[in-house]
Amino acid sequence: MREMSIEGAWVREPRIFRDDRGSFHEWFRAPELHEAAGYGLGLAQANCSVSTRGTLRGVHFADVPPGQAKYVTCVRGAVLDVVVDLRTGSPTYRAWEAVRLDDREHRAVLLAEGLGHAFMALTDDATVVYLCSQGYAPAREHGVHPLDPGLGIGWPAGLTPVLSAKDAAAPSLAEAERTGLLPAYDACSRWYAGLRADAAGAADAPPRVPATRH
């Protein structure tokens, strides 16, 4: 796990075993995620999206608490995956970092609750799968326009972005901040601390003894 420039985001670069049959790699290892974040990814939902070249999804985020942590990889084709710090008051507020996810290097991105997420398909049939700590809850899900000059995300040149109607109607970062839509860094930090404390408490708890049948 390699920590990204934005607090709460990591890239996993797996070891890949290749031979004349194909390849094998471990794309998810719970202990590595726990070691990086200080708490585990509680799996509540797994999603799969297939996108034509140029499709741009995001920037999506959820209210904190509980937020929605994500673990993202691309199993077919390639995408430019982007993490955006939307947490007001964060030292890296407004910053973004991009990682190419593809079916060759098999990188994966872990992003904590409160961070924004977006990606652009670089190939046709780009297939992205991601694990989520919370299920989809429309009332808590929000977005910021991915082409907002206030964010200035460097999307690949030569590709015409294809957005959903919902993403195209998303507010700018300034509008989202003005209306109180964005998560606060302090609230996110308290949430992370609570998750770490829960994880530490669970690790210190005595092992559960199975009930004995008579």
- Encoded amino acid at 210, one letter: P
SS3 23: strand
b/e string for 37-57 if b means 16 or more Cβ within 10 A?
A: bebbbeeeeeeeeebebbbbb
Provide the CA 165 distance to its chain's centre, in angstroms: 22
**Whether residue 192 lies in the annotated active site:** no
Concerning whether 145 is annotated as a catalytic residue, the answer is no
Catalytic: which of 130, 145, 185, 192? 130
196 φ, ψ (degrees, to nearest 5):
-65, -40
Q: What angle do CA 204, 206, 212 make, to 5 degrees?
A: 160
Catalytic residue of the set 60, 106, 117, 142: 60
**Treating both helix axes as pointing N-terminal to C-terminal, what angle do 30-37 and 185-204 enclose, rounded to 10 degrees?**
120
By annotation, the residues acting in catalysis are 60, 130
